[in-house]
Amino acid sequence: MHTLESLQKDLINLGLTRKDMLLVHSSMKAIGEVVGRADTVLDALMTYLGPEGLLVFPTLSWSKVNAEQPVYSVRHTPVVTGILPELFRQRPGVHRSLHPTHSLAAFGQDAETFIAGHEAFSTPCARKSPWGKLYDRQAKILFIGTSIAHNTLLHAVEEWGNADEIFKETQQQLFVIDENNRKISVPSFRHNGGHSQFYDRLAAHFEAAGALSKGHFGDAQCFLLDARKAADITLEILKKYPAAFTVPWNNAHPDFWNSSSAF
């Protein structure tokens, strides 16, 4: 049975410091039995990283906000990324960004500034949005019981690197309801699906570059990723091969991910 103290010891063993900026992708089920369950997991992360560090969860709502249901409420729209980010976004002191499909929630040092302005962009993960700030601030990304295929930062990197087929052709008229109940128009381009099926093939290359390490948090196997190093590696790939994460291109180049010369 895991406790707040044992989970914080796991964070130390993973090499995290109290001043880190940390984005967490998570599977609560993978962590195992915890005294206090999900609340204790959040307590462990929030007390370890706050107030000196910054704890971030993806609070994505892409499958709940669309042309047919175009309104996102920062207070009320639930997340599609699991129980931990759903509970996290509702906690006191947590700030959630105003993007209709790809919001982030943050707690700790400079959290409100970090999430500010996301609604100004017509794409989910623009370079100057909070997703780009993860790169600028040299964040770490912790995958708790999930693979690096669940890595929304790589969707962001595809945007920044002008990857082929990253966006759907038609912009959708979406809206955001902010904390003060104001309705904001946010015309948005949507990501094409399918690209993330190739992301986990980068793991060996990230590890070889010193960008990826492994450990555990409770019962869960974890991967800890250096956001800037991972982004730089991926951008170099996209410079040479803009279609690297598309199905047709990979079908035509079955040996690509096994070739060190590709990188």
Domain count, the chain: 1
pLDDT of residue 93: 97
Phi first, then psi, for residue 21 (nearest 5°) are -95, 125
* Residue segments in the chain with a per-residue pLDDT below the cut of 50: none
pLDDT of residue 262: 53
pLDDT of residue 254: 87
pLDDT of residue 115: 98
pLDDT of residue 247: 93
Closest by Cα among 246, 245, 199 to 225: 199
pLDDT of residue 256: 87
pLDDT of residue 259: 62
pTM: 0.96
pLDDT of residue 255: 85
Give the sheet arrangement for strand 172-177, strand by strand. 71-73, 172-177, 183-188
Closest by Cα among 164, 197, 226, 179 to 77: 179
pLDDT of residue 179: 96
Write out the residue range of the structural domain in which residue 94 sits: 4-262
The C-alpha atoms of residue 145 and residue 29 are separated, in whole angstroms, by: 8
pLDDT of residue 50: 86
